[in-house]
Amino acid sequence: MFTNFYYLLKSEGVPVSLTEWMTLMEALAKGLAFSSLTSFYYLARAILVKSEAHFDRYDLAFTKYFTGIETTEDLLEQALDWLTTNLPPLELSSEERAMLSRLDLDELRRQLEDRLKTQDGEHHGGSHWIGTGGTSPFGHSGYHPSGLRIEGNSRNLSAVKVAAKRQYRDFRGDQLDGVRQFEMALRKLRQLSTRADGPKNDLNLDGTINATSQNAGMLKLVWERPRRNMLKIIVLMDSGGSANRYMQICSRLFAATHRTSHFKDVKFYYFHNCIYDRLYTTPELKDWVKTEEVLKSYTADCRLIITGDASMAPSELTMVGGIINWREHNEETGLFWLQRLAKHFPYSVWLNPIQSDYWEQTLGDYTIALIREIFPMFQLSPEGLEQSVKKLMNKS
């Protein structure tokens, strides 16, 4: 049942697992959807979707899959003519509502076809024929718990309509949002700091008390490894030129990295378009240190995050002297420096503020492709950052 809906959800990017799908089947078998599309909408969402960030995608998939059910084929064209009249919304008491029997969707369709065949004209406010108002399951503005809405504006929102409203759009993880989402993503890097390494030199007080008591009161010390995040991070940010457009989003990453106080050391450096023998310590590109020095002072276990649109003239990457600033000269190509960085820091990612769908069409597609061969590239968004955090835990 609805198996295609499962695949549609997956293709829309909702992470649904088979376990959850089976739970939904169990719920349907128990009749928890009450044979109504609206209940099904909420039931399936509660079971299949585990984060409000994915609600919007669920809505999209739901609309795609079930839209056909809301307005059925050309059968309806003549019915539409009957529905042009508007009536005030129907108010029903809960008893009246309960009295209206709930219909199965297939049954409903069959009845609709039947009625289309036998109905001879407009009909409003009744309980049987297609029309506006009333309690017939067909038509609009009326009330029927499992009715089919045909055109008009819904007063008692139907499921597909609710889904089509896409009110959870703001929660999407791949849209640019506050610093907090970045922070949450960065926090995942904390998993790196396990108790697996380092000497056992912290006294475990609870463990000691427990062990001592079990040892008939003879002192028995329990030691454990300290749980400190030993992680060091270097962030290299593109500053100036084409990157200015993405200032806002980059500054969010900056703020998030600053606020996440779990790391042992976080260093920021700046560059313009590509990295050569100098790295700047301010975004205005005034003071600088030698890239060589930075490489020397950080070991391979340090994580490297580079942000930039990776869009530049190909010469800036491939030619000696191709640096964008005409007052400077580079002895080695940009590509050489990037490769050197990637080699020195096996844990590294490139975050690109350009939406990943456009990487192959944008102006800088050539250099983006070149850089992607060196660094794993992700979109600079909460979701991209999350993926890159996973990457930063494994050598690339």
Partner 1 sequence: MTVKLAEFQGTNDYIVAENLKNSVNVAIALGRPLLIKGEPGTGKTMLAKSIASSLGLKHIIWNIKSTTKAQEGLYVYDTVQRLYDSQFGGCNVSDIKEYIRLGKLGEAMASNEKVVLVIDEIDKADIEFPNDLLWELDMMSFFIPETRETITAQQRPIIIITSNAEKELPDAFLRRCIFHYIDFPDAEMMRDIVKVHYPNLEEQLVQQALQAFYKIRNISGLLKRPSTSELLDWVQVLALGGIQPDKLSSELPFLGTLLKKNQDFDNVLQYLSQRGTKQRGSSTLWRG
Q: Which residues bind partner 1 (CB under 8 A)?
A: 15, 17, 19-20, 23, 26-27, 29-32, 39, 42-43, 46-47, 49-52, 55, 167, 184, 187-188, 190-191, 209-210, 212-214, 216-217
Integer CA distances (angstroms), 368 to 30, 279, 316, 365, in order: 52, 21, 12, 5
Q: How far is the CB of 380 from partner 1 (least distance, A)?
A: 19
The DSSP call for residue 90 is P
Q: How far is the CB of 222 from partner 1 (least distance, A)?
A: 13
* The pair of three-digit structure tokens given for residue 279, joined into one six-digit string: 């790295």
Q: How far is the CB of 188 from partner 1 (least distance, A)?
A: 7
Residue with smaller CB distance to partner 1, 195 or 296: 195
- Lookup result for tokens 């769908």: 357
Residue with smaller CB distance to partner 1, 187 or 290: 187
**Closest CA relative to residue 115, chosen from 69, 72, 86:** 72
Cα 155 from Cα 222, distance rounded (Å):
66
Cα 176 from Cα 171, distance rounded (Å):
10
Q: How far is the CB of 23 from partner 1 (least distance, A)?
A: 7
Residue with smaller CB distance to partner 1, 31 or 88: 31
Residue with smaller CB distance to partner 1, 45 or 303: 45
Provide long-range contacts, Cβ within 8 A and 24+ apart, for 191-195: 191/393, 192/229, 192/231, 192/392, 192/393, 193/227, 193/228, 193/229, 193/230, 193/231, 193/262, 195/224, 195/225, 195/227
**Closest CA relative to residue 268, chosen from 228, 323, 305:** 305
Q: How far is the CB of 177 from partner 1 (least distance, A)?
A: 12
Residue with smaller CB distance to partner 1, 69 or 184: 184
**Closest CA relative to residue 340, chosen from 384, 386, 279:** 279
Cα 281 from Cα 285, distance rounded (Å):
7
Q: How far is the CB of 189 from partner 1 (least distance, A)?
A: 12
Q: How far is the CB of 137 from partner 1 (least distance, A)?
A: 20
Residue with smaller CB distance to partner 1, 31 or 121: 31
**Closest CA relative to residue 345, chosen from 294, 280, 290, 383:** 294
Residue with smaller CB distance to partner 1, 31 or 199: 31
∠ CA 38-31-90 to the nearest 5 degrees? 35
Q: How far is the CB of 17 from partner 1 (least distance, A)?
A: 5
Residue with smaller CB distance to partner 1, 191 or 244: 191
CA 284 to chain centre: 33
- Lookup result for tokens 């749980």: 227
Q: How far is the CB of 207 from partner 1 (least distance, A)?
A: 11
* The pair of three-digit structure tokens given for residue 102, joined into one six-digit string: 């709930």
Residue with smaller CB distance to partner 1, 127 or 214: 214
Strands 265-271 and 131-132: unpaired
Residue with smaller CB distance to partner 1, 77 or 218: 218
Q: How far is the CB of 366 from partner 1 (least distance, A)?
A: 37
Strands 303-307 and 232-238: parallel
